[in-house]
Amino acid sequence: MGMPSDMTGKAALVTGAGGGLGQATAVALARAGADVCIVDIKADGLAQTAALVETSGRQAVVHIADLGVAENCAACVTAAVDRLGRLDALCNVAGILRLANSHDMPLADWNLVLAVNLTAPFLLSQAAIPHLLKTNGAIVNVASLAAHIGEAYAAAYCASKAGLVQMTKSMAMEFLKQPIRINAISPGGMATPIGASFVPPAEADAELLARFRPIRGLVEVADMAEMIAYLASDAARGFHGAIIQMDNGITAG
């Protein structure tokens, strides 16, 4: 896509960086000049991402953490700042999807989706903001088209992503008078490993599932990652409290 992102001399933290969009985001930030603290629950994926970041000539700090556990979140920010000396961007990319009939969904699944998709970005932001205030940095949250339309069998996922959108806007208002920037992107379908979690309940209604089919095709993961890197960079200075719906038209109507 060729977005004008320059992160030279900056440090970023990317969650979900063990694969998919998080890995592509870490690489896009490194290519833009940033050193990157990469966080995921998957050690093998992080090792691969670290190699890609280093190939771009930037430093990778690997931090393995389960973001479903609240106590682990602030430690990610501490690791980034301790090892990289500063923090200019927090990219909350990690996310999980669980589909179920709402009346059958185990409470544990509901709680896990909310913990990883909504509570972790809040706790990471909470820990990162004091550092971002020092660097005039940015937060980029990854929501979903599911924040903007109701998707059948995805009540927890939709609620978590809609919550993330409103959290983004609320924090943007809170920091309207400071130079830090807080934005979100809402991707449409991309070809990433999360697709394996798209397992509708038995006897799901195909007509309802078709309502959020990507008629115009999937969005390129690399394009989405470049958009995140752009929003993290100073080039995006006009964006604050924005929710970028980059979904190939699915939520247009």
Active site residues: 157
Q: Which is nearer to ligand NAD, 22 or 163 (CB)?
A: 22
- By the rule CB under 6 A, 42 interacts with ligand NAD: yes
How far apart, in Å, are the Cα atoms of 78 and each of 1, 25, 37, 123, 130?
A: 33, 20, 10, 12, 11
- The enclosing H or E element of 140 equals strand 138-142
In this chain, which stretch among 11-19, 55-63, 128-136, 174-182 interacts with ligand NAD, using CB under 6 A? Answer: 11-19
Give the nearest distance from C-beta 241 to ligand NAD in angstroms.
19
What one-letter code names the amino acid at 67? L
d(CA 211, CA 107): 26
Between residue 72 and residue 111, which ones bind ligand NAD under the rule CB under 6 A?
93-96
- The residue length of the chain stands at 253
Q: Binding to ligand NAD (CB under 6 A): which residues in 161-220? A: 187, 189-190, 192-194
CA angle, corner 45, sides to 127 and 3, nearest 5?
A: 70
Determine which residue in the list 6, 33, 48, 66 makes contact with ligand NAD, applying CB under 6 A: 66
144 scored as a contact of ligand NAD (CB under 6 A): yes
Q: Cα separations (Å) of 229 from 10, 81, 166, 240?
A: 12, 19, 21, 15
Strands (E), the chain: 11-15, 35-40, 60-64, 89-92, 138-142, 181-187, 243-246
Number of residues that bind ligand NAD (CB under 6 A): 28
Is 18 an interacting residue with respect to ligand NAD (CB under 6 A)?
yes
Pick the binder of ligand NAD from 31, 35, 63, 68 (CB under 6 A). Answer: 68
Q: What are phi and psi of 14, to 5 degrees?
A: -125, 120
- Of 138 and 142, nearer to ligand NAD (C-beta) is 142
Q: Residue 179 Cβ, how far from ligand NAD at the closest point, in Å?
A: 26
Cβ contact 44:18 at 8 Å: yes
- The correct pick among 36, 50, 76, 116 for binding ligand NAD (CB under 6 A) is 116
Which residue in the set 67, 81, 172, 243 belongs to the binding site for ligand NAD (CB under 6 A)? 67
CB of 134 to ligand NAD, least distance (A): 26
Residue selected from 10, 34, 38, 40 as contacting ligand NAD according to rule CB under 6 A: 40
Q: What is the DSSP letter of 201?
A: P
User: What gap in Å lies between CA 121 and CA 115, rounded to an integer?
Assistant: 9
Give the integer Cα–Cα distance in Å for 157 and 138: 25
- Residue 127 within binding range of ligand NAD, rule CB under 6 A: no
Binding residues for ligand NAD, rule: CB under 6 A, are 16, 18-22, 40-42, 45, 65-68, 93-96, 116, 142, 144-145, 187, 189-190, 192-194
